[in-house]
C-alpha cells in the first residue's frame, strides 16, 4: 500500500463548477497535510495546509481533514481555466520528522 494515495486523473471539471480532489494516507500518526499545485514543467507551489480535523478555507480553496478516516481533500470553488494543473497531496508524519511524503498527484483540467 502506498503511503499517500491520490487518483491520478485526469479529472475534468467545467469552468465555474466545484473541483474535488481526494487523498488518503496510511500513517495514522500523521500530523500535517499540505496541498501543492504544480503546473507542467514548473515546481510545486504551496496552496493550502491543514493540521486539525475539519475544514480550512482560503479564498476559493477549502481543505478538509478527517484523521479518523485518514482522508484529506481539497475543494476548489468557481473553478477557472488557470486552475488546470497537477495537485499534489503531501503528508508529514509527526513533529520532528521533517520529510514530506507526496502522492503522485491528480491532474485537473478545467473545461471552459
For the CB of residue 22, give the shortest distance to another protein in the complex, in Å: 15
Q: Which residues bind another protein (CB under 8 A)?
A: 4, 32, 34, 36, 42-46, 49, 51, 88, 90, 95-105
For the CB of residue 1, give the shortest distance to another protein in the complex, in Å: 15
Pairing of strands 106-111, 61-66: unpaired
For the CB of residue 51, give the shortest distance to another protein in the complex, in Å: 6
> For residues 88 and 102, is the Cβ–Cβ distance under 8 A?
yes
Amino acid at each position: 500500500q502506498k503511503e499517500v494515495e491520490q487518483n491520478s486523473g485526469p479529472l475534468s471539471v467545467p469552468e465555474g463548477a466545484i473541483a474535488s480532489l481526494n487523498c488518503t494516507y496510511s500513517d495514522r500518526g500523521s500530523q500535517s497535510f499540505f496541498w501543492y499545485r504544480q503546473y507542467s514543467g514548473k515546481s510545486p507551489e504551496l496552496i493550502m495546509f491543514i493540521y486539525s480535523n475539519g475544514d480550512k478555507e482560503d479564498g476559493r480553496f477549502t481543505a478538509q481533514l478527517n484523521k479518523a478516516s485518514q482522508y484529506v481533500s481539497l475543494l476548489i470553488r468557481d473553478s477557472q481555466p488557470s486552475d488546470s494543473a497537477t495537485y499534489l497531496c503531501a503528508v508529514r508524519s509527526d513533529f520532528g520528522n521533517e520529510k514530506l511524503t507526496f502522492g503522485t498527484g491528480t491532474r485537473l483540467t478545467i473545461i471552459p
